[in-house]
């Protein structure tokens, strides 16, 4: 029985044919075309969606936000983003007492000893020669030394007003245990920060009596009593009584010596040696602070302090404040590394003390207990966990910040608390080389670009950021 090609009633015994197996489908061709079209369109839409998704992914993950114009193109151009592909080398301390060989100058090997792990602190004898020490001291004298600290700092009341802090706000911030009363050690912190004067608990009791602040004489201040100290009366009282040099946080004189091109050969050699020692990129060392030379005469001291402060979103590093493009009132010194050189051997006293070195914990409140102030380097240096004796030519260096775990600057190392013990005989000459690095990588990169005056189009060729993790050979540091 013949069947017409258009007949859809084929016998059940015949093998079924795939749809549209024949060219001349006639009626069924409409169904075939529609199915084919739908399949093609589905795959086409999936392809388009994938392409769009890919473009969006590339756009939003591009550090420059794409090359095309945006609807905000009339605004100021955004600050360039720098690819963070640099890791800061960090020397391992291994253990206290561990000694490493360090190649810093031609035909000589120095020994570097680990003094503590918290902070990471090292000592290098004979870092400077006797002649270099003499030259640095003479250059400082030729430049002229200035007082390291004014007798009484001014303008602090204006800062408090600018920050909009009421006496109640300050009281609550200082009341660490929130018992509604201020103890001596709590108010001491406030007075030192505000006025730069180092007061003992005994001094503070005298001021309480002079201002008639502690009415009940129990050594504790209520909020009402504290109001008398939070005004200008506190500073006026100090001026009337007179402030001795021994009452200052820092009793010394200092100057700064430039180490760049055209500087004395000895100063340039010291900078190069510091670069080799720390294994940091030369650009970072070059753009850091000049060499500070400090003279502590008999009775001179520097109470325990941190060279750098913690960095918060509201805080700008002093050395990169121009690149930060911010008007924040809070600034701090971001000194990643401190290198301290002893330019002479001190007859008596003058040690560098680290009160809490290698402590199991750090608790600021516990620094002042039972009228024993560990921050007081005039009285309690012998109670510090570690003291480094000043010896001519010796250098010590430590990290003021921890690592962020990604090869850059992390949080402040609170254990780097240190001070200069009182010089009891003779005088003490030291020099400080601070290496400034902003914990905010982008801000540090913008600062270096700004200093180098490179056009923004050359971000990828920024010489200030072409930093080798080890600018010298890998044998600079060896274990002994």
pLDDT tens digit sequence for 271-317: 999 999 999 999 999 999 999 999 999 999 999 999 998 888 778 89
d(C-alpha 387, C-alpha 240), whole Å: 37
Mean pLDDT on 152-168: 57
Of the listed ranges 49-58, 172-181, 280-289, 335-344, the one predicted with least confidence: 49-58
Q: Is the pLDDT at 19 greater than 50, yes or no?
A: no
pLDDT at 128: 98
Q: Is the pLDDT at 466 greater than 50, yes or no?
A: no
pLDDT at 62: 47
What are 247's two structure tokens? Answer: 């009452």
Q: Is the pLDDT at 434 greater than 80, yes or no?
A: yes
Counting every residue written for the chain, the total comes to 480
Q: Which residue has the higher pLDDT, 142 or 9?
A: 142
pLDDT band, residue 68 (cuts 50/70/90): very low
- Report the mean per-residue pLDDT for the chain: 78
pLDDT at 316: 87
Q: Is the pLDDT at 191 greater than 70, yes or no?
A: no
pLDDT at 57: 53
pLDDT band, residue 220 (cuts 50/70/90): confident
pLDDT at 196: 59
Mean pLDDT on 337-363: 97
**Nearest of 427, 403, 400 to residue 416 by alpha carbon:** 400
pLDDT at 243: 62
CB 419 within 8 A of CB 327: no
Of the listed ranges 429-438, 450-459, 462-471, the one predicted with least confidence: 462-471
Of the listed ranges 175-184, 316-325, 373-382, 453-462, the one predicted with least confidence: 453-462
Q: What count of Cα atoms within 13 Å lies in the side-chain half-sphere of residue 294?
A: 20
CB 122 within 8 A of CB 354: no
Q: What is the largest CA-CA distance in the chain?
A: 130
Domain ranges for the chain, please list them. 30-62, 99-149+249-479, 156-245
| Helix axis angle, 233-241 to 201-211, nearest 10° | 110
What percent of the chain lies above the pLDDT cut of 70? 67
pTM here?
0.70
Q: Is the pLDDT at 14 greater than 50, yes or no?
A: no
Q: Which residue has the higher pLDDT, 28 or 427?
A: 427
pLDDT band, residue 64 (cuts 50/70/90): very low
pLDDT tens-digit readout, 79-121: 678 888 788 999 999 999 999 999 999 999 999 999 999 999 9
The CATH number of 99-149+249-479 is which of 1.10.540.10, 3.40.50.300, 3.40.50.1370, 2.60.120.620?
2.60.120.620
Helix (H) or strand (E) holding 36: helix 28-61
pLDDT band, residue 47 (cuts 50/70/90): low
pLDDT band, residue 419 (cuts 50/70/90): very high
What percent of the chain lies above the pLDDT cut of 90? 46
Q: What count of Cα atoms within 13 Å lies in the side-chain half-sphere of residue 335?
A: 19
Q: Which residue has the higher pLDDT, 345 or 477?
A: 345
**Nearest of 76, 69, 67, 303 to residue 193 by alpha carbon:** 303
Residue range 156-245, CATH number? 1.10.238.10
pLDDT tens-digit readout, 26-36: 444 444 444 54
pLDDT band, residue 50 (cuts 50/70/90): low
* Three-state SS at 349: strand
Using CA atoms, how far residue 38 sits from 25, 31, 33, in Å, is 18, 11, 9
Q: Which residue has the higher pLDDT, 156 or 165?
A: 165
Could you give the angle at the alpha carbon of 434 between the alpha carbons of 430 and 440, nearest 5°? 160
Q: What count of Cα atoms within 13 Å lies in the side-chain half-sphere of residue 107?
A: 0
pLDDT band, residue 144 (cuts 50/70/90): very high
Q: Which residue has the higher pLDDT, 258 or 68?
A: 258
pLDDT band, residue 12 (cuts 50/70/90): very low
* Three-state SS at 258: coil
Q: Where are the alpha helices (DSSP H) in 332-440?
A: none
d(C-alpha 148, C-alpha 213), whole Å: 32
Q: What count of Cα atoms within 13 Å lies in the side-chain half-sphere of residue 99?
A: 7
Q: Is the pLDDT at 384 greater than 60, yes or no?
A: yes
Q: What count of Cα atoms within 13 Å lies in the side-chain half-sphere of residue 288?
A: 26
């Amino acid at each position: 029985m013949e069947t017409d090609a258009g007949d859809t009633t084929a016998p059940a015994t015949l093998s079924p044919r795939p749809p549209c197996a024949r060219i001349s489908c006639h009626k069924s061709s409409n169904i075939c075309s529609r199915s084919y079209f739908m399949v093609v369109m589905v795959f086409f839409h999936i392809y388009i969606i994938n392409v769009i998704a890919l473009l969006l992914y590339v756009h939003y993950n591009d550090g420059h936000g794409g090359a095309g114009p945006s609807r905000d193109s009339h605004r100021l151009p955004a600050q360039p983003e720098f690819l963070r592909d640099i890791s800061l080398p960090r020397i391992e301390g291994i253990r206290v007492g561990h000694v490493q060989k360090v190649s810093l100058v031609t035909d000589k090997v120095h020994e570097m000893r680990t003094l503590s792990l918290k902070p990471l602190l090292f000592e290098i004898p004979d870092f400077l020669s006797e002649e270099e020490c003499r030259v640095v001291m003479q250059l400082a004298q030729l430049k002229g030394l200035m007082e390291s600290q004014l007798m009484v700092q001014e303008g602090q009341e204006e800062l408090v007003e600018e920050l909009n802090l009421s006496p109640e706000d300050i009281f609550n911030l200082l009341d660490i245990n929130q018992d509604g009363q201020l103890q001596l050690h709590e108010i001491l912190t406030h007075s030192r920060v505000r006025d730069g004067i180092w007061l003992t608990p005994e001094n503070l009791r005298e001021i309480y009596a002079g201002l008639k602040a502690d009415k009940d004489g129990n050594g504790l201040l209520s909020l009402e009593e504290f109001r008398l100290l939070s005004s200008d009366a506190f500073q006026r009282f100090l001026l009337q009584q007179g402030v001795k040099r021994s009452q200052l946080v820092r009793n010394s004189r200092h100057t700064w010596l430039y180490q760049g091109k055209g500087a004395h050969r000895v100063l340039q050699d010291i900078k190069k040696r510091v670069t080799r020692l720390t294994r940091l990129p030369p650009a970072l060392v070059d753009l850091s602070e000049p060499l500070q030379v400090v003279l502590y005469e008999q009775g001179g001291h520097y109470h325990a302090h941190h060279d750098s402060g913690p960095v918060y979103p509201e805080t700008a590093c002093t050395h990169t404040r121009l690149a930060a493009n911010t008007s924040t009132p809070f600034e701090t010194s971001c000194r990643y590394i401190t290198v301290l050189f002893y330019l002479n051997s001190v007859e008596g006293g003058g040690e560098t003390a680290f009160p809490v070195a290698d402590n199991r914990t750090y608790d600021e409140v516990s620094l002042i207990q039972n009228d024993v102030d560990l921050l007081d380097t005039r009285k309690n240096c012998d109670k510090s966990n570690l003291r480094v004796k000043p010896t001519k030519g010796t250098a010590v260096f430590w990290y003021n910040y921890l690592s962020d775990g990604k090869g850059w600057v992390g949080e402040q190392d609170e254990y780097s608390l240190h001070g200069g013990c009182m010089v009891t005989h003779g005088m003490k000459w030291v020099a400080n080389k601070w290496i400034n690095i902003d914990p905010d990588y982008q801000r540090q990169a913008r600062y270096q670009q700004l200093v180098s005056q490179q056009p923004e189009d050359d971000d990828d060729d920024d010489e200030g950021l072409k930093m080798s993790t080890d600018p010298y050979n890998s044998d600079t540091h060896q274990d002994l």
